[in-house]
Amino acid sequence: MPQLRQVHQLKQTLSPQQVLQASLLQLNIINLEQKVIDELELNPLLEQTDSESDMAEKDELSEREVDFDEDPDEFEPANIYDHGKKITEIPIPDKKGFIEGLIQQLDIYDLEEWERRVSEEIIWNLDENGYLDVEIIFIADRFERTEQEIETVLKKVQSLEPAGIAARNLRECLLIQLKDKKSTAYKILDKFFDDYANHRYENIQRELKISKNDFSQATEQIIHLNPRPGEGVLASQSDTVVPDLLAVKKQNKWVVIVNDLYMPDLKISNEYLDLMNQPGLQKSTIKYLKEKYDSAAWFIQAIEQRRQTLTNVMNSIIKRQPDFFAGNLRALRPMKLQDIADEINMDVSTISRSTRGKYVDTIYGIFELKSFFTEGYLLDSGEEVSTQKIKDKLKQLIDREHKDHPLTDTQLAEELKSNDFPVARRTVAKYREQLKLPVARLRRQLV
């Protein structure tokens, strides 16, 4: 006979405020502006401060934060603080075309209104390779749905063309493209993906009890799948970016500014605050107003927290990459997300959200924040160098090679070793693939 018993268990969960902060942090400035507009429409207690006095206060606050010292006119670029200019002067990437095509494909399903909105949210959060670039828990929280409900909608989006779109990882992307779930190729990717990725083919053949010929046929099917269904169509729409941060130099000191001054300032509506204090309101009305008040307060706080986090992250990056910000753009030092997390006392996942898809405008150009992070490689001398330095040298060797007799990965490894970079052949292959350079036989040219 089954017995009932109580079990004490510790379980860590995110509070609504933490979920909101995380979801806003991972948005770039364009998506954040749209999120603010959506929130203004949904929450009556949230309103925009657009009066001249509010704008004057905003200008004054911005100048105090930047610390102009005695002469604010010396600071450039002045257009950042010129509120007389129209917002439309900022170049906004045009995401029409491929994205709209995906949204139109949703018409084949009889979707409820919330399912349609969730589907479009998923589509607008695809990265340049066509992968879903946001965790479904954040979408579930925004639309007040369960993760299972969002998962069901995601499956419908994943059935759109091109096959493999909206996958969350490479394994899922490839599995979506294999329609026959009983095929050997599907079984390999479903049950033995890690073995396949690490070339442990004998183990797969033994576990599945298949012949070498059957395995070869399955492999031939796998290699013809598209690992990046959005490549070339989504990336081209992001050639023009709006920087999330501005790093400017004033009196030999770098100043970081979050580029959200064109975004409307928010405040809680005084009209509704007065309404909340009126006697005789129904309990349901009081409950509704209280929920909307908390939501508005959390939203305003989350935006301010995002601003502070991005500023701290960028300041830490500048501190850790002094050579780059001194003008030597190829002199990146080894730096990991964990280094920034330790320095500003934040979780590494927060740093990841802060840098993914975010750009900074500097006097040297616009750079993606994740481009400042590079792994370190320990030389025989004990010196640690950035892998970017090794990649630069590798690219130089390939650019200078005789095109009728290109260097193999083994030969490239030997050349790097002679240049005091003792890396293995498989490391050379990995760096070459990251540089999107083909193997030697595909680089060969008749001269």
Instruction: Output the pLDDT for position 156.
Output: 92
Task: Give the CA distances from residue 50 to residues 62, 147, 266, in Å, rounded to whole numbers and listed in that order.
Answer: 16, 37, 9
Exposed e or buried b per residue across 42-69, where buried means at least 16 C-beta atoms within 10 angstroms of its C-beta: ebebbbeeeeeeeeeeeeeeeeeebeee
Q: Residues 6-15: pLDDT tens digits? A: 666 655 555 7
User: Residues 345-374: pLDDT tens digits?
Assistant: 988 888 888 888 889 998 888 888 888 887
- DSSP letter for 259, please: S
pLDDT confidence band for 97 (50 / 70 / 90): low
Query: Each residue of 55-65: pLDDT tens digit?
Result: 554 455 444 44
Highest mean pLDDT among 5-9, 28-32, 184-188: 184-188
Q: Does the pLDDT at position 418 exceed 90?
A: no
User: What distance in Å separates the CA atoms of residue 84 and residue 4, rounded to the nearest whole number?
Assistant: 69
At residue 255, the pLDDT reads 92
User: Which percentage of the chain shows pLDDT scores above 70?
Assistant: 81
Model confidence at 238: pLDDT above 60:
no
3-state secondary structure (DSSP) of residue 437? coil
Lowest model confidence (mean pLDDT) among 34-38, 377-381, 420-424:
377-381
What pLDDT digit, counting tens, does each position of 248-279 carry?
Answer: 988 888 999 998 877 778 888 888 877 877 77
- Rounded mean pLDDT of the chain? 79
Amino acid at site 390: I
pLDDT of res. 75 = 38
Question: Half-sphere exposure of residue 161, counting CA atoms within 13 Å on the CB side?
Answer: 5
> CA-to-CA distance for 123 and 158, rounded, in angstroms?
10
User: DSSP 3-state helix, strand, coil percentages of the chain (rounded to 5)?
Assistant: 55, 10, 40
Share of the chain above pLDDT 90, in %: 12
Lowest mean pLDDT, pick from 236-240, 274-278, 282-286, 410-414: 236-240
Whole-number Å distance between alpha carbons of 441 and 83: 56
The CA–CA distances, whole Å, from 265 to 42, 51, 389 equal: 16, 10, 43
The pLDDT value given to residue 319: 92
pLDDT greater at residue 61 or residue 219? 219
102-158 pLDDT tens trace:
888 888 888 888 999 898 888 888 887 888 888 888 888 878 889 899 999 999 999
Mean pLDDT computed over 149-172: 91
Across 398-421, average pLDDT: 85
Strand partners, 406: none
Q: Over 80: is that where the pLDDT of 213 sits?
A: yes
Amino acid occupying residue 247:
A
What is the CB neighbour count within 10 angstroms for residue 318?
18
Sign of the CA dihedral running 423, 424, 429, 430: negative
Distance from C-alpha of 27 to C-alpha of 336, rounded to nearest angstrom: 21
Distance CA 41, CA 299 (A): 13
Residue 250 has what pLDDT?
Answer: 86
CA distances from 224 to 94, 375, 376, 416 (A): 31, 31, 34, 33
pLDDT of residue 174: 92
Task: Say whether pLDDT at 312 is over 60.
Answer: yes
